[in-house]
Structure 1
């Protein structure tokens, strides 16, 4: 396999990465070694489909309804073309950007993706290590497969943000934010668009939601407030609890829940966990408190009391909401429609990026995601006003195919294409990317 990385503190990080990447790949090819993951985005997804279980691929690749928002996200990029500008000295190129008070070697970060144990056993640990090795921030999901403290230990030099799904329990929200700050996260990303779970047809067809198997709830089961909620629930048996038909899949689900329940039962044996009401109560408690449709702008003021970290609002797609975020004193805006996973026929994010960027006028950073598959996409988003660009599904596919190495190579490939696109557009730094670098079709 071919790997290429730069230390996050290397001042040359992000410079000339395309030349290094291509040289590494072609030189390794002399001896018959090919990249660990496919370079083309379509081939990457196709290979991931082969490697992942049907349930895992559906959960990662799927969207809401007829998945028209996913298609619209991609189609929006097709309305912009990069202007090639030759005969300019582009021998030195710098991908660096300023974000959250620090100079970053590249304008890329990893979006929060939950339940990555569906893709690889090392899940968030592998993603954090890969992100740290190439010097890009990793947004750790509230639905991670490992507690945030364990992820911090796995990549102590890495830069991390923490994504919060606003829970129905304010005490739990406060506890999660305190832990994020204590574990070294640089900012809080409050996801706004999942107060109701989207109508995800692939998951519904398979009757599969990983959280009901105890997966993706490690941030909760490791939290003292959540543990107390579970104990309180388990102490009051429900007489009307629906019976589960005993099948091989039901038994497998029970075993998974029992294993995931170890933090609640003091790490007891599998037999003890199977007998304990706590693991099942943890799943039921999670489903009760995961989110609330009652959250409003007024609730965000509480987050300011709970943490001193910068707060970024994720799920903004309307210019008026961007203005409300500014009025509320938020520290950043994350333009996202959850990768098309929440609303079918939603507004594509790239279509609203220029208008939101004009409204924000540089007062806070803008993070952009949804539909990004390669470096040329990132260049277009940056030219239209994004401060940094977040990558989602592609790195999950890389994780599923080749673990930590797969994530690293996916990120490396995106950055290399971005670097090439910048140079062929006649530009030498990301700061030069603007509307003049693009042609609207």
Structure 2
């Protein structure tokens, strides 16, 4: 059994500007259980790898002779201003990686001017996260106990969340072999503080993941499209469905008046062999035809990845693991550095691709190609 403690070493971050360096440094400071929980995916991790590979199979076709002296990456997301077409993805138990946890990541998001999606399984209180001043959206899983779901929604609304993100691709937790092999358990101080989900102090049996076992007690696998109508009757917040992959599902969501979709395979952590979101994105964009915002996550690792996603039809992206790399290494400052790198790469890419604003990025052509594998 492996339990995980946050790093207590003096924060030292890489001199270089590459997120790959942050990934390597995070792996060095985290213990095996925490690193595998962060880095791992479902099954044999084919989808985890495919998410990254997909971005390397699309090339951008730059434009020239345009005024790109001051590229503008600002946009509106769910009716709120964002300085970048980026939001911080919902990620559980962030105090597993650093004592600052969700509060540190949210503070970095506030500094960068981008939305922060608060996980239902946050290890910091909703009120402490809101106190950072970040624009927040609340993520919920579908719970068997609808009264508890309502309580969490009420808590979020009380602290001023501006959107509701409903995760729709988790009727059960995917089989994550690294966590099973490790007998993964949370450190004693890390648990979902905003409601009792049976994860506090729980110890696994042999080849068991505490996350999967505790989640099985509350996730509702009987959810259907009718439940969207139920949640709509309970809130006036903009509704986002996270985990949409099929164009027919996307069109159904748009027909029901959902405000935004996140095209996502849960970062490769649910169904192994699920397609990369980037590859299904264009067909979904065509089918939705502008009726709702379309965000994308799973595999975004650079500002140029953001450019590719936007040129393929996304409104914005969610970024997950890189923020936890920064958190693990240097707390809030590490998260801020990661967001700074993404901004620098994005604006530099906009300038070189001939895009003065995001509308121009959306008009860029992409082509498929097979780059040679680098050592």
Match of residue 100, structure 1, among 78, 91, 98 = 78
Contact in 2 for aligned 1:36/1:406 (Cα 8 Å): no
Among 199, 204, 209, which residue is 2:180 paired with? 204
Rg: which structure is higher?
1
Q: Mind listing any 5+ residue stretches in structure 2 that lack a counterpart?
A: 1-11, 203-210, 370-375
SS of aligned partner of 1:218: coil
Spell out the pairing of 1:362-441 with structure 2 (5 A cutoff).
362-434=290-362, 436-441=364-369
Native 8 Å contact 1:189 1:313 kept in 2 = yes
Q: TM-score, normalised by structure 1?
A: 0.75
Q: Where do 5+ consecutive residues of structure 1 fail to align?
A: 1-33, 231-252, 259-282
Counterpart check, 1:292 vs 2:220:
yes
1:170 Cα deviation from its structure 2 partner: 0.5
8 Å CA contact 2:14–2:22 kept in 1: the answer is no
Does the Cα contact within 8 Å between 2:243 and 2:266 map onto a contact in 1?
Answer: yes
Query: Of Structure 1 and Structure 2, which has the larger fraction of its residues in helix?
Result: 1
2:203 paired with 1:215: no
Residue 13 of structure 2 contacts residue 329 of structure 2 at CA under 8 Å; is this kept in 1? no
The alpha-carbon distance between structure 1 residues 356 and 284, as it changes in their structure 2 partners (threshold 3 A), is: closer
Q: Say what the alpha-carbon RMSD is for the aligned residues.
A: 2.2
Aligned residue number for residue 136 of structure 1? 114
- The match for 2:47 among 65, 69, 83 is 69
Out of 196, 201, 209, the residue aligned to residue 257 of structure 1 is 201
The question of whether the paired residues in 2 share the 8 Å contact of 1:38 and 1:44 is answered with no
Contact 1:167 1:289 survives alignment (8 Å): no
Q: Is the 8 A contact 1:36 1:409 kept in 2?
A: no
Distance verdict in 2 for CA 1:422–1:437, change over 3 Å: farther
Residue 170 of structure 1 corresponds to which residue in structure 2? 146
Q: What residue in structure 2 maps to residue 22 of structure 1?
A: none
Distance 1:386 1:324, change over 3 A: same
Query: Which of 353, 357, 370 is equivalent to 2:281?
Result: 353
Note the 1:68-87 alignment, pairs <5 A.
Answer: 68-87=46-65
Cα displacement (A) at 1:86: 4.1
User: Aligned-pair distance for 1:209?
Assistant: 4.1
Report Cα offsets for 1:286-344 as digits up to 9, x if no partner: 54543111111112221112211111000000001101111222111111100000011
Q: Which residue of 2 aligns with 1:248?
A: none
Tell me the TM-score normalised to structure 2 length.
Answer: 0.88
User: CA 1:37–1:322 in 2, change beyond 3 Å: closer, same or farther?
Assistant: farther
Q: Alignment partner of 2:140: what SS?
A: strand
Distance in 1 (alpha carbons) for counterparts of 2:77 and 2:95: 29
Q: Distance in 1 between matches of 2:25 and 2:138?
A: 29
Contact 1:167 1:173 in 2 (8 A): yes
- Are the aligned partners of 2:13 and 2:334 in contact in 1 as well (CA < 8 Å)? no
Aligned counterpart for 1:159 among listed residues 123, 132, 135: 135
Aligned to 1:318: 246
Deviation (angstroms), 1:392: 0.6
Q: 1:284 to 1:105 in 2, by over 3 A?
A: closer
Change in CA separation of 1:215 and 1:338 when aligned onto 2, cut-off 3 Å: same
Give the whole-Å Cα distance in 1 for the aligned partners of 2:269 and 2:169: 10
What is the aligned length?
A: 350
Corresponding position of 2:271: 343
SS at match of 2:233: helix
Q: Secondary structure at the match of 1:306?
A: coil
Q: Distance in 2 between matches of 1:335 and 1:327?
A: 17
Q: Structure 2 vs 1, CA of residues 104 and 66 (structure 1 numbering), >3 Å: closer, same or farther?
A: same
Residue in 1 that maps onto 2:8:
none
89, 93, 98: which one aligns with 1:111 = 89
> Separation in 2 of the partners of 1:288 and 1:377?
34
- The whole-number CA distance in structure 2 between the counterparts of 1:67 and 1:286 is 23
Decide which of 141, 154, 167 is 1:191's aligned counterpart: 167
Cα deviation digits, residues 183-216 of structure 1 (max 9, x gap) = 11000000011121101011011011439x6733
| Separation (CA, whole Å) in 2 of partners of 1:177 and 1:382 | 30
Determine if contact 1:38/1:47 at 8 Å carries over to the other structure: no
Q: Contact 1:159–1:186 at 8 Å: present in 2 too?
A: yes
